Structure 1
Amino acid sequence: MLEMIIAEFTPVQSAVAAPVAALRLCVAVVLGAVIGIEREWRRKAAGLRTHILVSVAACLFVILGLEISALDFGTAGEQRNDPLRMIEAVTAGVAFLAAGTIFTAKGEVKNVTTGASLWLAGAVGLGCGTGQELLAAMATVIVVAVLALLRLVERDEG
């Protein structure tokens, strides 16, 4: 019995090495936080913690998908991997969360940007999970810059 428990926690060969997975998750935390801080600063319902959770969850889904794909489920000809299903699962979950932040009050739609920023945080996490941290960082910088620029433009018009 003890041998089984020890074997369960003994490191095995992994599709994504632990240091790489840790780096990807940490980058997802940081980049999700950058988006979340901007939303928090604007006092939106989905703020720092929500964006970090979505980004890290998306990253983790991808890493786990890579790990599952590396498991032996038969010969190479029998094994079928569909990485798009990982992305579909993340986007469906994020869409549910994003839709929950959007509501109508007195005929006015509220929190659409927050819903969209959640959607982006999910994509940032997916990017980190697939090892595309630079792409995820570029998207984060671009979106925060766009949000800041548009906020300035909207103030000048109002």
Structure 2
Amino acid sequence: MLTEVEIIKRLVLASFIGYMIGFDREKYKKPAGGRTHALICLASAMTVILGIKISERYPNIDPLRVSAQIVSGLSFIGVGTILKGKHGGVIGLTTATTLLTICVVGLACGAGYYLVSIVGAVLIEVILHVGSITYKRHKSLDDTEEEEDNED
């Protein structure tokens, strides 16, 4: 049985992790910032906790069914962040994927899997930073090649 203190711990951790990931995205002028990520992570944790609490009262109910629906609902939000760029590229795919991933981190927080939540959040940050560095280097190489092609 979940105590009130345990519930608060789970919700605060989910909100904190979500905000930190979102704040980092906001810092780099990406859509869906700290508040959005925090709210998605919090909502995900709340659905797991709610599922656990409901299953305590009604043992025949599947507690994961509620949590599964938040992932479906979030998919619609994620799709709204994906746009087609000027040159045919896709914009916002990383944001949509980050929202989905932060949702899963929230589910883990709500279930009490703190290590999974924290390691997941750290890996999200690492992936976003390494990806950003790689993208910038790749883009600068493309720009250099274009300049060399234009000199011919």
TM-score normalised over the length of structure 1: 0.82
**Structure 2 counterpart SS, 1:16:** coil
Q: Which runs of 4+ in 1 moved over 2 A?
A: 105-108
Choose from 57, 77, 84 the match for 2:64. Answer: 84
2:30 & 2:97 partners in 1: Cα distance? 12
Identity across matched positions, percent: 33
Choose from 133, 137, 142 the match for 1:152. Answer: 133
Partner of 1:4: none
Q: List gaps (5 residues or longer) in structure 2.
A: 140-152
2:99 & 2:65 partners in 1: Cα distance? 20
- Aligned-pair Cα RMSD in Å: 1.3
Distance 1:84 1:65, change over 3 A: closer
* Aligned-pair CA distance for 1:86: 2.4
Partner of 1:141: 122
Question: Quick check: which one's helix share is greater?
Answer: 2
| 1:50 has 2:60 as partner | no
| 1:33 has 2:19 as partner | yes
What does the per-residue CA deviation read over 1:29-50, in whole Å, with 9 as the maximum and x for residues that have no partner?
Answer: 1111121012111212211100
Q: Which has the higher contact order (CA 8 A, sep 6+)?
A: 1
TM-score normalised over the length of structure 2: 0.85
Segment drifting more, 144-153 vs 57-66: 144-153
Q: List gaps (5 residues or longer) in structure 1.
A: 1-14, 74-78
Aligned length in residues: 138
